[in-house]
Structure 1
Amino acid sequence: MGTDYVHGYTTHETRRLTDQAETLAGLLHAGTTYPPGARVLEVGCGVGAQTVQLVTANPGIRLVSVDLSEDSLAQAKARVAAAAPYAEVEWHHGDLRDLPFEDGSFDHLFVCFVLEHLADPEGVLRQLRRLVRPGGDITVIEGDHDSAFHHPRSTAAQSLIDCLTDLQAEAGGDALIGRRVQPLLQAAGYHDVRTRPCTVYADETLPHLVDGFIRKTFIAMVESVRERALAAGLRTPDEWRRGIRDLERAAEPGGTFHYTFFKAVALIPEGAG
């Protein structure tokens, strides 16, 4: 991983990740289908927000979920047990750069909101490739904060988004990695890389997205770095309040919001390793 997880390991962040997964399940998981019995590796499962979506949409898969944080894994176990007690999930605590699984032991690899936190995403993708059988596939989903734009337009709000991007870079990650997914997979040796944008658009006619995405996902994500930004002197408290207030206007009548995620599916070539 990078130096640390820029959003922090808090109850608020756990709630945000859950809200995000539930709000965007139909958008981000559309087309991600695995047959019963398929062995799937999910790296960087965190608190299990995406794990729940995987096992509920793909009953009968044999899922292995990995994370570096023992606390997050404990939350993930409890979350899946409550939401999908029938699911067959093997939990593994460890670094995704040094996993103990045999070459070619999985049919599919699922990586969601993980590469953005890595200092060397290409190297990690290259290491993970050996774990999937030739002819198997990888699914990668990442966002790109520069794709966020909203009405009313606000330089104060944009300043906070830029602050989040800068803090993530300082922590060793890349909040703009969505645009790099295709070239990263290509460079890491995957074949037939197919990438598509998954766009979220919200206005008052889409109240579930106004609440679930603008408020509970995006604004909550920006707010997660508030204390870090203020402590570093990157923004003043007044600047932060003004920026958040302007972001909130996008969730009010007359406001609009746009954001794009990038989803790629690629194949593991014959002779991979």
Structure 2
Amino acid sequence: MSGNNPLYKYIHGYQEVEQERLKEQASVIENPIYDFIDFKDVTSLLEIGSGVGAQTEILLKRWPQLQITGVEFEEKQIAKALENMKKLGYGREKVKFVHQDAKNLDLPEQFDGAFICWVLEHVSQPIEILKSMKPHLKTGAVVSITEVFNATFYTYPVMPAIMEYWKLYNDFQISIGGDPQIGARLGDLLEEAGYHDIQLRSGGFHLDSRQADEKQKVLTYWKNLMSSGAPLLIEEGVVTEKQVLAMQESMDHLRSLSESVFYYRFIQATAYN
């Protein structure tokens, strides 16, 4: 699904190591995201961009009453998601995955709720996904979206190798049709798509010496996140292997400093159909 069409490039790739990273990511940042989501009154949930089922697993764990339909554009991810769900003991009565383009949904049912997490940043015209969902949601269905706001990323001390890599990483995501600041636009996008009672919150991390263990864990996660884009960035000539290594070494240095600080905010939106 790569080819020469920039709309079909995914900065993190679909390698097995990336599929495992997605599962790790979901667990590391579970609480900051899910502690502010309420699906207790939802029975049937539409998950857009379900990937390898990393978020699906958490959704089913937190709200066991859910029946989830995951929509995913990449068949490799669906195969991995089915494997993961089987290991967890979930059959089609609890979760199914549909191979479709979320901009042109064709589903036989309507849902009580919808969930999108770390997906809209990767697509051009995210408004089309939000519009495509509407006919498949019941009146009053709750929509929960969590998205990136990468301009908020900051570390102390500032590490030039990290910030240089981060800029190139984000610029490349823009060049292939994504938006690394999409979180800031969620309110306007939802309103334009016709949703109502839109609420936004800023979540994320501000970690220093007082949260040493969590800081270590999140810095490791963030190093892996940035590294996951390296193969494509190198292939496209955006960064060199030397720049990747310098970024990774700088992240390790931050982990070694008790006085280091990590700061990042994501944006969550809740709205109703």
TM-score between both structures, scaled by the size of structure 2 = 0.90
- Is the contact made by 1:116 and 1:142 (CA closer than 8 Å) also made in structure 2? yes
Distance in 2, matches of 1:114 and 1:167, equals 16
1:95 pairs with one of 92, 96, 101: 101
Report SS of the residue matched to 1:31: coil
Instruction: Report which stretch shifted further, 174-183 or 77-86.
Output: 77-86
Q: Tell me by how many angstroms 1:102 deviates.
A: 4.4
1:6 pairs with one of 11, 29, 32: 11
CA, structure 1 residues 242+90, in 2 after alignment: closer, same or farther (shift >3 Å)? closer
1:235 pairs with one of 239, 244, 249: 239
Distance in 1, matches of 2:66 and 2:72, equals 19
Distance in 1, matches of 2:101 and 2:237, equals 33
What does residue range 146-165 of structure 1 map to in structure 2 within 5 Å?
Answer: 146-165=151-170
1:132 paired to 2:137: yes
CA, structure 1 residues 206+40, in 2 after alignment: closer, same or farther (shift >3 Å)? same
Q: Tell me by how many angstroms 1:110 deviates.
A: 0.5
| Aligned residue identity for 1:100 | D
- The residue that corresponds to 1:176 in the other structure is 181
Q: Tell me by how many angstroms 1:82 deviates.
A: 2.4
Report SS of the residue matched to 1:206: helix
1:71 paired to 2:76: yes
Q: 1:36-82: per-residue Cα shift (whole Å, max 9, x none)?
A: 77111001100011000101100021111111122211211222232
| Aligned residue identity for 2:95 | V
What does residue range 179-258 of structure 1 map to in structure 2 within 5 Å?
Answer: 179-216=184-221, 218-252=222-256, 253-258=258-263
Q: 1:150-192: per-residue Cα shift (whole Å, max 9, x none)?
A: 1111222101111110111122111121111111111111111
- The residue that corresponds to 1:34 in the other structure is 39
Which runs of 5 or more residues in structure 2 are unaligned? 1-5
Compare the two structures and name the one with the higher helix fraction. 2
- Is the contact made by 2:42 and 2:112 (CA closer than 8 Å) also made in structure 1? no
Q: 1:112-142: per-residue Cα shift (whole Å, max 9, x none)?
A: 1110011000122111122111111111001
What does residue range 103-118 of structure 1 map to in structure 2 within 5 Å?
Answer: 105-118=110-123
CA, structure 1 residues 85+183, in 2 after alignment: closer, same or farther (shift >3 Å)? same
Report SS of the residue matched to 1:97: helix
Instruction: Report which stretch shifted further, 125-134 or 94-103.
Output: 94-103
Number of residue pairs the alignment of both structures matches:
266
| Aligned residue identity for 2:81 | A
Runs (4+) off by over 6 Å: none
Distance in 1, matches of 2:231 and 2:39, equals 41
Distance in 1, matches of 2:219 and 2:88, equals 25
Which runs of 5 or more residues in structure 1 are unaligned? 269-273
TM-score between both structures, scaled by the size of structure 1 = 0.90
Distance in 2, matches of 1:59 and 1:66, equals 20
- Cα RMSD of the aligned pairs, angstroms, is 2.1
CA, structure 1 residues 204+75, in 2 after alignment: closer, same or farther (shift >3 Å)? farther
Identical-pair percentage: 25
| Aligned residue identity for 1:220 | N
Distance in 2, matches of 1:265 and 1:251, equals 34
Distance in 2, matches of 1:258 and 1:64, equals 34
CA, structure 1 residues 85+230, in 2 after alignment: closer, same or farther (shift >3 Å)? closer
1:141 paired to 2:141: no
